[in-house]
Amino acid sequence: MAEALVAGGVVGAAFGEGFAILHETVKHVVGQIIMFKSILKSLESTLDGIAPVVQEIRRLSLALDHPDKETKRLIQQMKKGKELVLKCSKIKRWSWNYYFKAYFYAKKLKKLNNAIEKFCQIDLTVQNTRTALETLIKVNQTRTTVLETEAKVDRVLEGVTELKKKKSGFRTLSCAVSRPRDYIVGLELPLKELKQLLSNKEESLLLLTALGGCGKTTLVKMLCWDDDIKGKYGENIFFVNVSQAPNLKVMVQKLFNRNGEECPVFQSDEEAIDQLEQLLNEIGQKKPILLILDDVWPGSESLIEKFKFDIPDYKIVVTSRTAFPRFPYRYNLNPLNRVDAKSLFCYSASLQDRDESSYIPEEYIEKFISGCGGLPIALKVIGGSLRGHLAGVWLSKLTKWSEGHSIFDSDAEVLDCLQKSLEFSADKTILKEYFMDLGSFPEDQRISATALIDMWSELHEPSEKDVHAIANLHELHDRNLASLVMTRKDATQIDDYYNEDFVTQHDVLRDLAIHLSNQEPVLQRKRLIVDISGNNPPKWWTEQKQQLINARLLSISTDELFSSSWCNIQAPEVEALVLNFQTRNYALPEFVEKMVKLKVIVVTNYGFYPAELSKFQLLRSLPNLTRIRLEKVSIPSLCNTLVLLRSLKKLSLFMCNIGQAFGNSTIQVSDSLPNLMEINIDYCNDLVELPGWLCEVLPLKKLRITNCHKLPLLPERIGNLTNLEVLRLMSCTELSELPESIKSLHKLSILDISDCLSICKLPKHIGKLHSLTEFHMKECLRLRNQLPPSIMELQQLKFVVCDEERAKLWEPFKEFLSNLKVKVAKKDINLNWLPK
């Protein structure tokens, strides 16, 4: 075919003939072989660029009868090139080794293209050719002909030079790692720790996770340029940005394109992954492989799994804002400490270059650093925005912050960066609502996990056992939008107990939640967050004239100077009310009485001392109130109010003084609390006796009394609670025994007496608890004698958690309880539950 293409043409020197054959062959097939289209286009471009050069060399060589020995090697390559191109045109897509051949021939074509470029780019050879031609031409031709030839040769050289410019930078490393360009501070220790984790031979995939803007990408780039890492992995370090909408085939093509090599278009993800595995097996024979998958979004976990191959010394580092549960081997990158944060901020603001006339007070600097919360993106952007400005501009910005303006009002870059973390899939959009609700609690304070669960379950997704709210709480934690701190390591194995757990949130994230909630006019917001300083409510509050607040969630935070002097507002649509205060005395606002749609109220004292809560009786008139959570308060009128709350389902008391209220109670509840199914009493140190009325709340399903160290006994009438499913008495250290009447709790499935140091025996007829599936009894130090024989009747018992000494007591019963698993719990000593 190639011979026919040049038939009838002038057959000159071998070099020109070889070039012509290859050139015409490429032009003929370039549009026919799709898989090599890009390579052949590049080769065609190369040949087109040097065609004028070849024509001149061929004409002059013919005229001078010049030998072809100088171009013999290239002539041979051109002939082989023609054969290669023809072979490429014959590859069948359905062939079993299609991709292997495609990859093999692609490398050959690239090699040919590079050889031609190299030949034409050797300036010395071209100059020598020009000099020789000029000398010979001068002997045989006139001065005019010499000048014409010189001009033509000049054009040849210009063509070569232009070709060099055109082809410069042609070869790229599509998966190469660029050096970090930013001013870097505070990542030396994380880099060292990351390298240590990467050296673990047992783990092939390491997840690097952090809040957006913390420096994850910068850290992995530092890792790739580290001398130790480069020494180990050499050129087998690959960096691929995954992003929000990843294309697996394109990602694999980028990996195939290492060192500028082309790759055919894959027909499916499976074919791409199969070929990638072959490639990695080949290149991994000489050096280990390190693959960086940067910026992985939720929903891409299964895609990441596809890059895992059983190849020796093959490591994957994944960076993401989400701590994917399926990748437990991870490194959490924290915000910068105070020293490093100041260094980055001062550098970004160019404070080191200022003279005395533009002095910035140290207190201004410290306040801005505090406002950025150690978040690198905020420190850089805020610092940069203040660069070169006088102290007055700094003070103006600080004043706006103190007046309630957000960091995001003037710095869109930080907002854009963090808002990416709130881009959820269609089935996860509710998470944004959950996130914004976190702004309802004070800055730099722990948030009760149960308070959030109660609020979310009533506002967003009501469900049995609050499963949706709990799942989404963990989702926010995994996405680094909040931090869930669990004080008890075996808590996940005990129903849904989160009473001692709490949530923290980065200050900048809290500001983001409030900023997003404040986008609508005050009276139209569905989430209204109010901070009152002293006795000075916001201006809109005092000016309101019969205007209704449309919020479903209302949060009011007051400081230690607040006197409980409330201005009236109308908020009939409120379903969740969050009251945060710090004073020794606090009165519920009068307007609560008219919140007829109120479902959940959370009252939290963030002061150091317990506070007396008054006007609690205002809650009596609320027909839809289902959940009450009180923290660090004393309520003398508690019991008299509760008896009138017929819709109440859950009562939670944390660190409250309730002994007086319970001890003086003589109320008769009978059916007055028909819906009360859960009571939680935690860290109430003045509780010495449970009130008798509690044993009359027959609908009760969950009773949790924990860390009440002065409670010596449970009432015998506790056996009346026949609907009880969960009984938790953890860390009631003075509790000496369980009443025999407990045998009547036939629906009880979970019993927890962990850390009840004074219990020395179990009830004789404990075997009557036929529904019992979980029994927690670790660190019951006085429980040393043989367990009662009726234990053998607990045929539904599947799980016992205890310490090593108590585990021995269960040995005689294992042969009778075939489904039983006894777990020896490790000692868990932590002070996470203590207030900050």
Q: How far apart are CA 555 and CA 577, in angstroms?
A: 6
**pTM score above 0.85:** no
Q: How far apart are CA 553 and CA 514, in angstroms?
A: 13
Tens digit of each residue's pLDDT (9 = 90 or more) over 757-805: 999 999 999 999 999 999 999 999 999 888 999 999 999 999 999 999 9
Q: What are the tokens at 236?
A: 């087998």
- Residue 323: its H or E element: none
| Angle at 290 (CA atoms; ends 284, 292), nearest 5 degrees | 140
What would the DSSP string read from start to end of 763-783?
-TTGGG-TT--EEE-TT-TT-
Q: How far apart are CA 111 and CA 261, in angstroms?
A: 10
Which residue do the tokens 């005689």 mark?
A: 812
Closest CA to 18 of 87, 154, 112: 112
Tens digit of each residue's pLDDT (9 = 90 or more) over 110-131: 677 667 666 665 543 554 555 4
Contact 240, 293 (CB under 8 A): yes
**Looking at the DSSP assignment, which residues form a beta bridge with residue 239?**
292
Cα dihedral: 444, 450, 456, 462 (round 10): 180
Closest CA to 157 of 209, 188, 116, 122: 122
pLDDT score of 106: 63
- Which residues in the chain land under pLDDT 50? 1-12, 123-124, 127, 131, 136, 139, 142-144, 146-147, 153, 156-173, 492, 833, 835-836
What would the 3-class secondary structure string for 595-606 be?
CCCCCEEEEEEC
Q: Which residues contact 114 (CB under 8 A, 6 or more apart)?
A: none
What would the DSSP string read from start to end of 597-633?
T--EEEEEE-SSS-EEEE-GGGGGG-TT--EEEEESE
Q: How far apart are CA 271 and CA 268, in angstroms?
A: 5
Report residue 577: phi and psi, to 5°.
Answer: -120, 125
Closest CA to 555 of 597, 600, 612, 519: 600
Q: What three-state secondary structure class fits 799?
A: strand
pLDDT score of 161: 44
Q: How far apart are CA 194 and CA 48, in angstroms?
A: 51
What would the DSSP string read from start to end of 208-259?
EE--TTSSHHHHHHHHHH-HHHHHHHTT-EEEEEEESS--HHHHHHHHHTGG
Bridge-based pairing of strands 483-485 and 502-504 is antiparallel
Q: Which residues contact 302 (CB under 8 A, 6 or more apart)?
A: none
**Looking at the DSSP assignment, which residues form a beta bridge with residue 320?**
209
Contact 638, 660 (CB under 8 A): no
Cα dihedral: 516, 519, 522, 525 (round 10): -60
pLDDT score of 4: 31
Closest CA to 381 of 422, 421, 349: 349
Helical segments of 479-535, H only: 507-517
pLDDT score of 602: 97
Q: How far apart are CA 183 and CA 377, in angstroms?
A: 12
What would the DSSP string read from start to end of 804-817?
HHHHHHHGGGTTT-
- C-alpha distances in angstroms, 152 versus 67, 118, 679, 724? 21, 22, 98, 102
Q: What are the tokens at 411?
A: 């710095």
- C-alpha distances in angstroms, 442 versus 350, 405, 479, 509? 33, 16, 21, 13
pLDDT score of 63: 57
What is the rounded average pLDDT for all residues in the chain? 81
Which residue do the tokens 């950025």 mark?
A: 372
Indicate the angle between helix axes 449-459 and 430-437, nearest 10 degrees.
130
Closest CA to 257 of 241, 286, 227, 279: 279
Sheet holding 237-243, edge to edge: 237-243, 289-296, 314-320, 205-209, 330-332
Q: How far apart are CA 750 and CA 707, in angstroms?
A: 18
pLDDT score of 804: 92
Q: How far apart are CA 513 and CA 436, in angstroms?
A: 4
pLDDT score of 474: 93
What would the 3-class secondary structure string for 697-764 be?
CCCCCEEEEECCCCCCCCCHHHHHCCCCCEEECCCCCCCCCCCHHHHHCCCCCEEECCCCCCCCCCCC
Instruction: Determine the distance from the C-alpha atom of residue 711 to the mean position of all C-alpha atoms in its chain, rounded to a whole number.
Output: 43
Bridge-based pairing of strands 237-243 and 289-296 is parallel
- Residue 682: its H or E element: strand 678-682
pLDDT score of 747: 96
Q: Which residues contact 564 (CB under 8 A, 6 or more apart)?
A: 583, 585, 586, 587
Contact 580, 557 (CB under 8 A): yes
pLDDT score of 825: 86
Burial 533-554 (b: 16+ CB within 10 A, else e): eeeebeeebeebeeeebbbbbb
Please tell me the total number of residues recorded for the chain in this structure: 836
Query: For residue 56, which amino acid is it?
Result: E
Q: What are the tokens at 223?
A: 């890792």
